[in-house]
């Protein structure tokens, strides 16, 4: 949902910065790697210690690399399957680090096993939600559905809540409740999104199988199309 609107806006905003990096000889792959490393550092260094405000600031700075690297590749005319694969793979690593950071906090000084479990569920369900789209596309289906909570929503909801919750350390009372609420929202939204994608893939696969069956003549066995795609 947010992907549809926010990505286009931030792409326009970050285009001059992407052009600047290209002029300095920086490669899109380098931006992808640095961005992922920065997100992981912000999540796994700050979040387990309960420093949610500063962790969110660090992550926010680096998370925009996901838009910058693709912008750079398009401007340079060097978009490739490898770049798309690397970007999608490291997105999963960065997302996992964020929710792992939450889980480590609640397993440690946060002292809340229930919220630790919810954070782990958010981590796992986010990976599965992305996998369903990638797997559907790999068997030749469009997976034409805008899920309720895709990657952009997961990041915005969790990071905004974490950043605000971090203000509790600066004396803002009661605001730390926002992070648990956000984790429950992401968990529930991920379940809904997973259901949306499974239903969509089932419908599209049934339509594709019916079309293949109606178009196959005697002696034709047909084949399953193969393809590739990105996940969110």
Residues belonging to the active site = 91
Give every CB contact of residue 24 below 8 A, 6+ residues apart in sequence.
none
Q: Residue 164's closest CA among 149, 154, 155, 174?
A: 174
Q: Which residues of 141-160 are buried (b: 16+ CB within 10 A; e: fewer)?
A: bebebebbbbbbbbbebbbe
Torsion angle of C-alpha atoms 115, 119, 121, 122, degrees rounded to 10: 140
3-state secondary structure of 24: coil
What is the C-alpha separation between 35 and 58, in angstroms, rounded?
A: 10
CA distance 155 to 142: 24
CB 136 within 8 A of CB 143: yes
Contacts of 219 (CB under 8 A, 6+ apart): none
């Amino acid at each position: 949902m947010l992907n549809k609107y926010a990505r286009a806006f931030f792409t326009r905003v970050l285009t001059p910065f992407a052009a600047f990096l290209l002029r300095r000889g920086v490669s899109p792959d380098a931006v992808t790697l640095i961005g992922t490393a920065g997100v992981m550092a912000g999540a796994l260094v700050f979040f387990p210690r309960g420093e949610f405000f500063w962790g969110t600031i660090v992550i926010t700075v680096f998370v925009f690399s996901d838009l910058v690297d693709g912008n750079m590749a398009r401007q340079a005319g060097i978009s490739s399957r490898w770049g798309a694969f690397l970007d999608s793979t490291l997105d999963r690593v960065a997302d996992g680090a964020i929710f792992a950071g939450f889980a480590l906090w609640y397993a440690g000084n946060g002292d809340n096993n229930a919220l630790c479990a919810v954070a782990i569920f958010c981590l796992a369900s986010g990976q599965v939600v992305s996998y369903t789209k990638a797997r559907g596309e790999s068997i030749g289906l469009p997976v034409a559905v805008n899920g309720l909570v895709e990657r952009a929503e997961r990041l915005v909801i969790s990071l905004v809540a974490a950043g605000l919750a971090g203000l509790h350390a600066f004396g803002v009372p009661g605001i730390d409740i926002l992070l648990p609420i956000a984790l429950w929202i992401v968990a529930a939204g991920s379940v809904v999104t997973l259901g949306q994608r499974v239903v969509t893939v089932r419908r599209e696969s049934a339509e594709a199988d019916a079309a293949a069956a109606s178009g196959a003549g005697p002696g034709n066995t047909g084949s399953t199309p193969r393809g590739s795609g990105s996940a969110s």
